[in-house]
Chains A and B, each alone.
Chain A
Amino acid sequence: MLELFFAFVTIYFSVLFLLVYMEDADKMEDPKPTRYPSVDIIVPAYNEEKHISETINSLLALQYPGKIRIIVVNDGSTDATLNVARTFEPRGVLVIDKPNGGKASAINEGLKFADSELVAILDADSIVEPDALNFIVGYFEDEKVMAVTPMMKVWKAHTPVQILQRAEYILNSFTKKILEQFDSITVTPGPFSVYRRKVFDELGGFDEDTITEDQEIALRIQKANYKIASSYGAVVYTDAPRTLSQLFKQRKRWYKGFLENVWKYRQLLHHSYGDLGVFMLPSTIAVIVIGILALFYSIYRILSSPLTFKINLSTMFFGPSDVVLTMTTLVSFFLVSLAAKKLNESNMVLLFISTLIMSPLLTLFWLFIIIDTLKDKLLGVDLKWKGEG
């Protein structure tokens, strides 16, 4: 009967997101700006000699009517990142060199030079579409909006692991827009999140002690009761991990950072924070736990059912659980296809299959990472960021 509970949870969230998507359909479009404020774009870079030229070139190609300044902060790279960045100085790019101190310290260094109304952060392994900023700046006409996240896509997905992540990124961007309607975005990712400059004056710069500074700043903005919006139109491509071990390493940092920051901002789990405190943040935690339970349960069912590996079409019989699980899959598929349509992705089947593979894989990662975090806590180990995305 447990599978029925897992199915109900999946149906509930899919239906909730679909209802919000339908009710707030008009809010799903990016607002047209009436003005184009000045923007400083900070590019923190650590050992990115292979990517940084493409990154800076994409910024120089931005077709933005307002004033833009590009600030590259070399965070003590041991490769040729600094030399490559300096070749762009004649084209107006400001290059700052500092000793290695982590991504947050590099961004904070860049913030010292930023005096524009808006500040964008762009990881040095990401590139932006020429019109990306134009889709974002309209959101800042709402004075409560302090940050806007872009539509992230995987840059040139070659390996199977990258193809799987492509689907994940699309779904994440789609759901992030829906989470915006709940005022519940809890991360402003490194690839081209844009901030109102004054939020740093008011709340301080990026936290240099956390391993996921983009989650920390987002939760800090939420705690201050400001808004974070999400854009479908502002497309940014990022270099995703190529192998399973690289993916695990990245997720280890993300998930550990999530656990660390949720604990740090546990006071957000309060009714005064509306949907975020009452429903979305508790649900995120609950869904992780339920996902792990569902994974264990599936393994138990596979090992304990006499007929699991006997697939014989002539004896196929569908019981109530099968019908409910089929309906759950169909509802999820509908949500995925909606995301694909909205975000102009043509291969819906590949997207759906990728999602089916990624969900248990990431749940398994969560399990390992929770165990690993507990182990590190007991041994007092610290995870330091060096430069991975």
Chain B
Amino acid sequence: MEGRGLKARMYFFAFVASLLLFTVGLVLGWQWGYSAVTQMRSEFDALSADEAGVELVSLLGNESFACQIYESEFMRVFQKTVEYGEKLAELESKKGKMDSEVLELKKDYSSMQLRNYLLQQKMDARCGYRHNVIIYFYSNENYTPETDEGLQIGKVDKEFGVYTYHFDINVDSPIVRGLKAAYNIKTTPTLIINGEKYEGFLTADELRAILSRNK
């Protein structure tokens, strides 16, 4: 039988060219990722400064002035923190849960969440507000959309004006360890809703029922 041709040279060149394209893509992606982390750090610094500013200004003047500042400025800072959290989650999904830069940013984010929570509690007490507050302990390990409590909270937070503070229990930081000890967190999801602890997954309707009691 007469042998047939083999375009071995073409297969090789195609492999080299593909490898080159592929590498350029990866390098561009990493560079982009590096820029994103740098940008996230700058945003975190700016947010921290804003948050400290709100706290300082609320110390000035009388009670009514402090509450006025709290109402106008704290919500703005809180909203920015929520957006920052979404960006961080996106970054985590792209770079991976074990990425050292992501873990560092999450540590910082946990401390910001706690500071926000404490400031909000202090100002609610001073100004006599009864905002709905959820402290949400979660884990990204063994994630399924069916057990994503965050999605359920998202369905009710606007309706009840909920302030939600997220803590990933797998973040290795004194703040998260301290909170886990303070609330005796053993499982996820665990929610502390207006001071009461709820272990396990809650549907949006169940959340609605609990939050309605605060009206």
Contacts and interface: CB of A to CB of B under 8 A. Distances in A.
Contacts of A88: none
Given A8-B22, A11-B18, A306-B93, A318 B7 contact: no
Contacts of A254: none
A303 interface: yes
Contacts of B3: 272, 274
A15 interface: yes
B87 A315 contact: yes
Interface string B133-163: 0000000100111001010000000000000
A288 interface: no
A315 B4 CA distance: 54
B25 A324 contact: yes
Contacts of A379: none
Given A11-B22, A306-B140, A323-B26, A275 B32 contact: no
B contact patch SS: helix
Interface in B144-197: 144-145, 148, 150
Contact of B5 (A19, A274, A307, A321): A274
Contact of A15 (B21, B28, B83): B21
B5 A317 contact: no
Residue of A15, A225, A316 contacting most chain B CB atoms (<10 Å): A15
A307 B92 CA distance: 10
Given A307-B89, A317-B90, A321-B94, A275 B4 contact: yes
Contact of A278 (B6, B143, B145): B6
Contacts of B93: 305-307
A11 to B, nearest CB: 5
B53 interface: no
A344 interface: no
Interface in B46-92: 83, 86-87, 89-91
A276 interface: yes
Interface in A309-339: 310, 312, 314-324, 326-327, 331
Residue of A16, A23, A183, A314 contacting most chain B CB atoms (<10 Å): A16
Nearest to A144: B2
A315 B18 CA distance: 30
B10 A20 contact: yes
A305 to B, nearest CB: 6
Nearest to A323: B29
Given A304-B143, A307-B90, A314-B83, A324 B4 contact: no
Interface string A1-37: 0001001100110011001100100000000000000
B10 A16 contact: yes
B209 interface: no
B18 A8 contact: yes
A236 to B, nearest CB: 28
21 contacts: A12-B14, A15-B21, A19-B10, A19-B14, A182-B7, A225-B1, A272-B4, A274-B4, A276-B4, A304-B143, A306-B140, A315-B83, A317-B90, A317-B94, A318-B29, A323-B26, A324-B22, A324-B25, A327-B21, A327-B22, A327-B24
The 4 A-B pairs at the shortest CB distance, nearest first, are namely: A320-B29, A274-B4, A319-B94, A323-B29
Interface of A: 4, 7-8, 11-12, 15-16, 19-20, 23, 181-183, 225, 271-279, 303-307, 310, 312, 314-324, 326-327, 331
Given A275-B6, A275-B7, A318-B33, 20 more contacts: A11-B18, A11-B22, A15-B17, A15-B18, A183-B5, A274-B3, A275-B4, A304-B144, A304-B145, A306-B143, A314-B83, A315-B87, A317-B90, A317-B94, A320-B30, A321-B94, A323-B25, A323-B28, A324-B26, A327-B21
